[in-house]
Structure 1
Amino acid sequence: MTTVDDPVAAAERCTPEFRRNPHPVYANLRDTAPVCPMRPPHGIDTYLITRYQDARAALTDPRLSKDMYGAMDAYRRIFGDSSVALDDHMLNSDPPKHTRLRKFVGSTFTPRRVASLRPQIQEIVETLLDGCATREPVDLLSAFAFPLPINVICELLGVPPDERSVLQGLSTTVAQTGFSKESKQAQQKAEEDLHTYFADLLARKRSRPGEDLLSALIAARDENGGLTEQELVSTAFLLMFAGHKTTAYLIGNAVHHRLTHPAQLHAVRENPELIGQAVEELLRYDGSVESATFRFATEDVQIAGTLIPKGSLVQIALSSANRDPRKFDAPDEFDVTRSANVQSAHLGFGYGIHYCLGAPLARLETQLALTGLFSRFPKVASADPAREAPWMEVPFPAFRGLAELPVVLDPAVP
């Protein structure tokens, strides 16, 4: 039986080489230590689950709690006291609280509301592409992949246009903070500013409601109860934060892999109806959520021959599970024509009661972004094909995305 002193996973997951390509490490762990004990930079004993079947089972195991208030000491050691005011939402809760919060949000954040955003998303796509340089290099992440989902989720929530860049900056600080004293101070300040902002925005919406999701949440809450004021603020933050970071990185990853897999790009150009499958394959092959958010063991849990002691943190490596050859044939091949039924088995949006509520919106945004980009600029190419893609470095793998994506949208033909 492996022990928590085994440093392999934690050490290897903190290297630049791992960020560039984590999959050889994950393949080794799936074969040799599918539930791998490690001690990450935050210093708390953690167990990393890497195989598909174990990951899927763990995502629904009630002994692996999402209620971080139940692990308050560990939670505060990792994220600091200032996180508590923003994290009282459904992602950090178990039933029955989770059931109450998700049902409440789901009653307003409906598939019909998401579908109604299609014209707005298409307009934002075109506007952003209008503003991009076409014959000289442009960073598609900063010019397109990030502005698109932040504007979409802010349109949905009812955030005024002139306040959106501030939110994006604050959420970036929260997402990319490390474990140094200075980094934690920056994180704390950003979290305090975000809490102040959303409390103020909700007050404004309450006095002047609009046709937006936050106004609908306020109306439902004031009429029927169901959320405390802190839960309402935390839910607003969750929808904003989860609604743009992961989608932005997903769009960037999708463009990168379509440019580096020309046969797959050609297949979608020849058969536009494959765009839905192409997005699902990207979610499986290189999705933007590398690991599910933390869980902790409320009792001793045995998984794949390894004992996870009560009180330990658990990370579920979605990227590894989605490349497990025990589940997917030729998992390291990017194939947009892969069976739709096989593709839909991926864990890119999680599984079980915490399955991503915003998955339909992320799918729609990514499909429209890719269709708009490659339809308008069919010759788009990497600005420096010989340069290795620069993947974002994070203190512990949660998101997976590029640090930048320099392209030329309309290269001159010699």
Structure 2
Amino acid sequence: MNQYLDPYPHFGRLREVGRVVRIQTAFAGEGWLITRHEDAQSLAGDPRLSVDARHAGLELRCRQDEFTFRFADCLPETMLIMDPPAHTRLRRMVAREFTPRRVAGLAPYIEDTVHELLAPLPPDGTTDLVSALAEPLPAMVICRLLGLSEQDATHLRPLVSELTELPVDPEVTARVGKARDAVWAYLSHMIEEKRHTPDEGLLSALISTHDDEGRLTDTELTSMAGVLFAGGAETTTQMIGSGLLLLMRHPEQMARLADSPALIPSAVDELLRFESPVTLGLIRYAAEDITIADVTIPRGDLVFVGVASANHDPRRFPEPERLDIARRDNPHLAFGHGPHYCLGAPLARLELQVVLSTVLQRHPHMGLACRPVDVPWRPSALRGPASLPVRLGPSSATAR
């Protein structure tokens, strides 16, 4: 089977080659892949591995100019590409406002929105659950959190989606560049509007928050808004699409979940373990020589902390290729680990929990309208189905 459609046997072979292996990628040239869970979990927060591209060696920087449109060029001065202490300051300021209470307050809106998106879908015939649900919902939710409108979500979502395309040729690079400029201009305008007419949204809160070093700069604010939207919309879209696909590929698990909704929290973590939106890994740069087993990663080299490989490591997960919605002791790395652990993880979990609960309540017998191998996957830095053709079947719940 195509490695992109099913990369896990390939990762299994790499794990047996070694704890760290040299790989070739289409979008960044050569780098080192950390293959096993214990190493990946440890190195995800290791200060010897930096997220700052300034630690890249000269050869790697030349390759990046050749292969990639760097994320730093899209959203500079964001905590995603900063090491402590700069990262610590920005994360602390955002976490002060991105609170559990703010996230929990979104639950009624998420529930209502899922029902509204599902209500017009025909029970007969074929429906694409990516375009009908997985794409619009996360964008609407993150805009609600930020204090933006549903019209803003409609405008920003396709632009931000383009930023995750793999720029392996000049045409894609140019398209990503135009999308970057449009996103930056739009968010800058929104921030200026919020300065004059603040509201209860997260964006207004970030504009007004400050610490001993002062307020966030315009560049920090715009980059942060872009990161929050991209993380809240794009990764959650892939998470929802992949999760629903997995359940339909494992109908016995879907039926079990429909009968036992108390399993939804553990099911969410198992779906994330099995199909993480981040496949190849968390991108890092070796800030110094690092020796793992008998392999030394030279300073300046590119390192992928292999999330998907680690999440299928049999040394940590018994029978990793078996989907088990009741799996216990599930320390998957879908949200990362260490200082860069995903700040939006509670919101992403909440959205997937509501989607699973509502979809399975309304359409417990839904199924794929094509063979699993015919489901198209996105040619993107984030893994998820490009479309998800399903037959919903008769509704078993009263639509709101």
TM-score by length of 1: 0.90
Q: Give the aligned partner of residue 123 of structure 2.
A: 134
Q: How many residues align?
A: 391
2:242 and 2:384 map into 1 onto residues whose CA distance is 6
Whether 1:404 and 2:393 are equivalent positions in the alignment is no
Letter in 1 for 2:389: P
Distance in 2, Cα, partners of 1:177 & 1:151: 25
* Greater mean alpha carbon deviation, residues 303-312 or residues 217-226: 217-226
In the alignment, structure 1 residue 122 sits paired with structure 2 residue 105: no
> In percent, how many aligned pairs have the same letter?
39
Q: Distance in 2 between matches of 1:77 and 1:67?
A: 19
| Aligned residue number for residue 228 of structure 1 | 217
Is the Cα contact below 8 Å between 1:39 and 1:45 reproduced in 2?
A: yes
**More displaced, 43-52 or 204-213?**
43-52
C-alpha distance in structure 2 between counterparts of 1:153 and 1:409, whole Å: 27
5 Å-filtered alignment, 1:19-168, equals 19-71=4-56, 74=61, 78-80=67-69, 83-84=72-73, 86-168=75-157
**Structure 2: distance between partners of 1:98 and 1:372:** 37
Aligned residue identity for 1:408: R
Structure 1 residues 100-141: Cα deviation after superposition (integer angstroms, max 9, x where no partner):
010000000011100010000001101101132221101100
User: Partner of 1:337: helix, strand, or coil?
Assistant: coil
Tell me: CA distance 1:320–1:387, structure 2 relative to 1, closer, same or farther (3 Å).
closer
Distance 1:94 1:202 in 2: 25
Report the CA distance shift for 1:357/1:81 in structure 2 as closer, same or farther (over 3 A): closer
Match of 1:13 in 2: none
AA aligned to 1:382 is: L
Contiguous gaps of at least 5 residues in structure 1: 1-15
Distance in 2, Cα, partners of 1:43 & 1:387: 28
1:220-242 CA-to-partner distances (Å, cap 9, x unmatched) read 14997242221111000000001
1:357 to 343, 357, 360: 343
Verify the 8 A CA contact 2:27 2:68 in the aligned structure 1: no
Structure 1 distance, partners of 2:103, 2:28, is: 40
What per-residue deviation string (whole Å, max 9, x for no partner) do you get for residues 364-385 of structure 1?
0000011111101122111124
Find the aligned partners of 2:187 and 2:86 in 1 and give their Cα distance: 22
Secondary structure at the aligned position of 1:307 is classed as: strand
> Displacement of 1:304 after TM fit?
2.9
Letter in 1 for 2:4: R
Q: TM-score, normalised by structure 2?
A: 0.93
TM-superposed CA distance for 1:392, in Å, is 2.2
Q: 1:81 to 1:358 in 2, by over 3 A?
A: closer
Deviations 1:199-249 (A, max 9, x none): 111000101111100001001149972422211110000000011111111
Instruction: Check conservation: 1:292, 1:350, Cα contact below 8 A.
Output: no
RMSD, matched Cα: 2.0
Give the secondary structure class of the aligned counterpart of 1:246: helix
Q: Is the 8 A contact 2:125 2:391 kept in 1?
A: yes
Distance 1:125 1:43 in 2: 38
